[in-house]
Amino acid sequence: MNLEAIYARHLVELGYLQEIIQGLGYPAELIERSPEIPYHTLVAQLDHDSADRVREMACTFYPLNEEDTQNLLLLQYFLELPFEIHPQAYPDVYKLLLEVNNKSVLGHFSITADKPKIHHRYIQTLPATNLLAEEATAEVVTLFNYTSLMLGDIIESVATQKKSTDEAMQMI
């Protein structure tokens, strides 16, 4: 399969994902790849957090070389949490993320490179021979949304120095 065919497949799959996400009641926009955006990307607004801030999830297919794409697709769900880490909070955030990632049922939380931000990321492995399964994919989106909401508030409490790591770990 050539690279253009792979990108075309990704665009079709993201179109299906857009329909699934919109069916869950979330606005979603499909952005086609361009010189500024290297991969087709689906951007969806999920539930607002407890401070009523917008949370956007970006979905892209993880780039693989042609030999790797014969049997599988890797769909990445990525959400940057809507707050910044206080500069003195980094040691406590690192400690908390170890615990949070042990409790997270879907994906992991990490500090975004070159930014004082935390993101939630999950990569779903899909068979290349099948289209997205609507019910299973809807459950993944719902669980990803719920996990980032629930654990994001706890992480924010430490990242903004409102709670100690020990207090936050008791909340998990």
pLDDT by 10-residue block (mean), the chain, 172 residues:
80 95 97 93 96 96 70 92 96 95 92 94 88 90 95 96 94 86
φ and ψ at 34, to 5 degrees?
-155, 180
Report the number of distinct structural domains present in the chain.
1
Q: What is the CATH number of the domain that holds 82?
A: 3.30.1460.70
pLDDT of residue 131: 78
Q: Measured between alpha carbons, how far is 134 from 53 in angstroms, rounded to an integer?
A: 28
CB atoms within 10 A of CB 152: 22
Burial class (CB in 10 A: 0-12, 13-18, 19+), 81: buried
pLDDT of residue 126: 87
Name the residue range of residue 128's domain.
3-171
The pTM for the full model equals 0.92
Rounded to 5°, angle at Cα 6 from 134 and 9:
30
